[in-house]
A and B are shown apart, each in its own frame.
Chain A
């Protein structure tokens, strides 16, 4: 390899390495700014409770009330109103034992809702909506506010 060729080769290496490092840093910044943020729950908060139409003077006070409309494969629906102090949708639903699934690198992958498990063989999955829009965040990183209304539908892909 001649000297000129060697210099050219070194230049290519430096440029390639620089591009890689710059992209790596850019991705790290992107993730820091826009990546999902796992919501940390306040351990002192009172566990949530589903409303069943009765009330009691000793009932705990909840900061938020959310409604969850569940639609099953046959089109039947069930609406659950939850009083909660949870910060994330996951905690509020798990306190009611409404969801279960597998832990993944992206958080909980919900497989079961209200006792019904999505059937992989039928290409089913549980889709989460808020105000009619498909959620782009997992249940771990979806915050909840008082009055929120969520829909969970068993859909096929």
Chain B
């Protein structure tokens, strides 16, 4: 099987992993692995990450998008933004740096989510929306920081090893 096809199948698997991780942690409000996984996917599969994000958002809309809620608009720019920032900082491999990036993404999640509200309901409503959820942004930021600090290195190692196997066709 050609490397490209193997990578395509692997990208589909990684998308499924993204969805499963999101659903598995859904009982913990604002604690998620999606941010960390997308950072890792961007570092290791920079060309495939855009396909993974498109699939992830598409599946989420299919599962929960009934009635076109606001988060659909948010998802369209927030996950690509994370991938973009990760690409700009791709030379870093320190778990602390990525924990800070993931932490900031969690902290700013509410503020970024409020952007469409500026156009829909005005700046005052957008700020009120942001303030209402600020406590959960703090939880999100701390959760992202802790999970990334703990899991960045082992997951990076696992993903890198899996990719090497997929690209070479050899099991090390």
Interface residues in chain A, defined as those with a beta carbon under 8 Å from any beta carbon in chain B? 9, 12-13, 16-17, 19-20, 23-24, 27-28, 30-31, 34-36, 105-106, 120-121, 123, 134, 136-138, 157
| B99-147 interface with A by 8 A CB criterion | 100, 103-104, 107, 120-122, 124-125, 127-129, 131-138, 141-142, 145
Some 28 contacts from A to B, beta carbons below 8 A apart, are: A13-B94, A16-B97, A17-B96, A17-B100, A20-B103, A20-B107, A20-B141, A23-B104, A23-B141, A24-B138, A24-B141, A24-B142, A27-B134, A30-B131, A30-B134, A31-B131, A34-B131, A35-B132, A35-B135, A36-B131, A36-B132, A105-B136, A106-B133, A120-B66, A121-B67, A123-B68, A136-B124, A136-B128
| Cβ distance A8 to chain B, nearest Cβ, rounded Å | 12
Chain B residues within 8 Å of A121, by CB: 66-67
Q: Which 4 A-B pairs have the closest CB atoms?
A: A136-B128, A120-B67, A31-B134, A16-B100
Chain A residues within 8 Å of B66, by CB: 120-121
Say what secondary structure dominates the interface of chain B: helix
- With most chain B CB atoms within 10 A of its CB, the pick from A12, A16, A36 is A16
B29 at the binding interface (Cβ < 8 Å): yes
In contact, A19 and B100 (Cβ under 8 angstroms): yes
In contact, B133 and A105 (Cβ under 8 angstroms): yes
The chain A residue with its CB closest to the CB of B67 is A120
Cα distance A69–B68 when bound, in Å? Answer: 28
Q: How many residues of B contact A (CB 8 A)?
A: 30
Interface residues in chain B, defined as those with a beta carbon under 8 Å from any beta carbon in chain A? 29, 66-68, 94, 96-97, 100, 103-104, 107, 120-122, 124-125, 127-129, 131-138, 141-142, 145
| Cβ distance B114 to chain A, nearest Cβ, rounded Å | 12
Cα distance A126–B71 when bound, in Å? Answer: 18
Chain B residues within 8 Å of A24, by CB: 103, 107, 138, 141-142
The chain B residue with its CB closest to the CB of A33 is B131
| Cβ distance B94 to chain A, nearest Cβ, rounded Å | 6
Chain A residues within 8 Å of B104, by CB: 20, 23
